[in-house]
Amino acid sequence: MKGIRGEQAVDQSRYSLRVRMLLVLGAVLLLFFGFTGLALDRAYRNSVEGGAAERLQIQVYLLLAALEQEAGEFFVIEDIQDPRYAAINSGLYGFVYDAALTEMWRSDSALALSLPQGEQSQRMPEVGEAIFDTINDGNGERLFRFSYGILWEGIETPFSVSVAEVAAPYFSEIRDFRQSLGRWLGGAAALLLILLLILLRWGLRPLARLSLELRNIEQGSSQRLTGGYPDELRAVTENLNRLIDSERRQRERYKTTLADLAHSLKTPLSVASGSVDALSGSPPAAPNLEGRSEQLEVIKQALQRMDQIVAYQLQRAVSTQNHATLALRVDVATAVSELLAVLEKVYAGRHFIVERQCEEGLQFRGDERDLLEVLGNTLDNAFKYGRTHIRLIARQTRDVALEFCIEDDGPGIPEEQRDFVLQRGARADTLAQGQGIGLAVVSDIMASYQGSVTIELSNLGGAKFVLRFPQSESETHRK
């Protein structure tokens, strides 16, 4: 059943919109021109029959003017103006009937004409009444007949005068009109179908362009849909562009997650590795139990940090939420203390002077892991390239909710390379200063909070990283 339904769905989807609309419009045109043809044919036929009735009425008046009666018999006292009454089977016939529909007179043209029983008259017209109808003669030929009821002077009973004419010329005229009407309507329908096909092709051109652009995106020759679509398709193309951009960003997140994860694990791995080296270097004969316990605790903390990093990076790979809008609050002083404690152990052999200026009560509104990732990568960069002096300032200003300044006394970053080191792919093996993927991670996270990262020259002589988190709307309104 599923296979049959699938085949039916494929069959139904074979017809394009153009074919479907052309079929529907063709059916509408067929109905329209069909009813129009019937209406025109009926109107023309009524007009022809009306003209025939008027002509036959005139013939009745002419015949009445020429008729005379004597002793109950009718005769023509003078020649009738129309000579067809005197020619046998001329196609124009005259009759006189009494009240019982008995024939009292017929013209010479009708001497050879035979009318079947029941065709002589449907009913006797009243005095002054006119009846127009169609009858058939004995040979099946159709005739138009006009009957008029009169009361002759000296005759008490009424009688009727009828004039019949062969209808073939009239029906021939109607057939010619039908053929001409069919040709004109058929030509008009064909012309309209051609115009509709052209208009449909023009009207559906945006859909064809949309299909072509989607195919180009699928083949990789284009990145997104261009503009210039009609209003009816604009919402569709904008949503498709958003979907394409979202899918591309998601794919990029998947591709960079492993690189970010590897970079984020370097610091806790260094801490664990240093503690393992310290344990392995202790004299086995006289173990320092207190030192070993401390080193094991450091390894445990490093492993926990690695586990948190793995979970965090996996979440970032699939998350599209703007964390800057979350109402989470993280104590900045605590986060800074934890990071500096870990980094001082990692770089314990270099004897850094760490200057920390952190305002009391500072809070970060967002995910704690984002804050640790941003500060961890930036501080790690300062420890890695600084010589002896590190400075960290955390404060709140009038314009920003939270600002961090991380400075070192290292070689610094040239001005022309400051934007480059924040891009993904600016790795240590391509720059003399060695800044790598960690700064790109910082830039990505700050962008998700609508924050900013700038690199300046520190008065310590090295690089100065300034991280600014914007204020929320509620904080702005309070001010």
Looking only at the bridges linking them, the beta strands covering 463-470 and 400-408 are antiparallel
Pick from 119, 120, 78: nearest CA to 98 = 120
pLDDT in single tens digits along all 479 residues of the chain: 444 444 444 444 456 777 888 888 888 888 998 899 899 989 998 999 899 899 999 888 888 887 777 766 776 766 666 788 888 888 899 888 888 888 888 888 888 888 776 555 567 888 888 899 888 887 888 889 999 988 877 677 788 888 999 988 888 998 999 899 889 988 988 898 888 888 888 888 888 888 888 888 877 777 788 878 787 778 888 888 888 887 777 667 666 666 566 666 666 666 666 666 666 655 554 455 666 676 676 676 667 666 666 666 665 555 544 444 444 689 999 999 999 988 888 888 888 999 999 988 899 988 888 899 899 889 988 998 999 999 999 999 888 999 999 999 999 888 888 888 887 655 433 444 444 567 888 888 888 888 999 999 999 999 999 999 998 755 555 55
For residue 138, give the amino acid letter.
G
Single out the residue of 301, 349, 269 nearest to residue 293, CA to CA: 301
pLDDT (0 to 100) of residue 407: 95
Go through 364-395 and write b for each residue having 16 or more CB atoms within 10 A of its CB, e for each that does not: bbbbbbbbbbbbbbbbbbbbbbbeebbbbbbe
Pairing of strands 353-358, 389-395: parallel
Residue 3 confidence (pLDDT) = 47
- Name the phi and psi angles at 352, rounded to 5: -80, 150
Residue 125 is predicted with a pLDDT of 86
Tell me the backbone φ, ψ of residue 204, rounded to 5 degrees: -95, 5
Q: Please tell me the predicted confidence (pLDDT) of residue 452.
A: 92
Q: How far apart are CA 434 and CA 174, in angstroms?
A: 98
Residues 6+ apart with CB under 8 A from 12: none
Residue 90 is predicted with a pLDDT of 87
Q: Can you give the pLDDT at residue 235?
A: 83
Orientation of helix 368-385 relative to helix 437-448, angle to 10°: 150
**Main-chain phi, psi angles of 145, to 5 degrees:** -135, 140
pLDDT for the residue numbered 271: 65
Beta bridge partners of 392: 356, 406
Return the closest-CA partner of residue 313 out of 274, 246, 265: 265
Within 97-230, residue ranges assigned H as helices are: 168-203, 205-219
Question: How many beta carbons lie within 10 A of that of residue 199, not counting itself?
Answer: 13
**pLDDT for residue 248:** 76
Q: Which pLDDT score, from 0 to 100, does residue 431 have?
A: 41
| DSSP-derived 3-state class of residue 352 | coil
Q: What pLDDT shows up at residue 120?
A: 56
Question: Quick check: 292 and 282 in contact, CB under 8 A?
Answer: yes
pLDDT confidence of residue 171: 87
